[in-house]
Structure 1
């Protein structure tokens, strides 16, 4: 019975990861394609991610209280509790990107920056997918390598910021749009930081020790 509950917890967490990954993908797609209907769908579906996080937390607390698991089983439950919280925050940032899409009203757009945002989102999406796969397969060494990919995300963030500043200086009509570009890039950068957190939990799950994989990860104050 307890083993079945653990497997169900494992599956439901993996499903939550897929929900978040889809939200991130759709939010950036909506922003780049100026698709406000898709953005509204991301916002509308966010409650499903929030409800899944609460469900996983409640199940985890109940399993700890009733079953009093030890060692590996306890680590799995703790990992799900902590990592699901990171996933929920990633979903919140996807919503923020979607809201930026809706907020934009005919501002001057810059295709080169939107191209970089699309590429940055591709890197983040791949990191999300791979971190969840590493979790499923309990591949700690792979998780360390995935976390290291976050420097690519940070590189894109700096590049987009610099491009936006230059565009705002050269053409005042791009100021409002550039502010949104920088916001979206910052949301994607934070999502990358949360992927790093999940990778840390994968290492904990497999090796039973807490490690800091990305010293540049920032505290989220939003």
Structure 2
């Protein structure tokens, strides 16, 4: 059953809070997705003008994304080109990507790759790859897609495009989320961006909700989720 988007974003916020703050934000987002979806590894590939940037969680599968880039074939290329999730079992015998499948089997062994397009602003901006060795992901396909889009939006948001007064409010709200969750500013801003995406709202309106305590986060809740609640002024 699909969870509420606010609950899923709460899980993302809490997972970010548990990841080593010294690591780059894309890698922290990767590791948060691994935790939420109970995968065995993940990679983020972001399309930039004339290039692609990729980061992978360390481990047995971290060479799979670079291998696809070198070969020019694989589920990431297909998911990005066709704007749809691609799920493929890599066991050395895939006819869809014969060269990649053969080489990937020798690098990472048998693994199912879920390549999910990340969408932001109505376009595909990259792909999150989730590696599963047994069973399935812990969330529904809708949840996985929502999380992928939230991560893509979090990575691509640019607070510097706002005017000075708007930027000041966003910075203040970011500071409050930092204090509430004890996470780095980049992670806190990613959480705010993800909430803006989920609500189809502006970054400024979500920042105002944080500043007026209509949206709060706390480690003190008894559940494993962040808290999104409305408080009377």
Q: Normalising to structure 2: TM-score of the pair?
A: 0.25
Q: Normalising to structure 1: TM-score of the pair?
A: 0.26
Q: Could you say which structure has the higher helix fraction?
A: 1
Q: Could you say which structure has the higher strand fraction?
A: 2
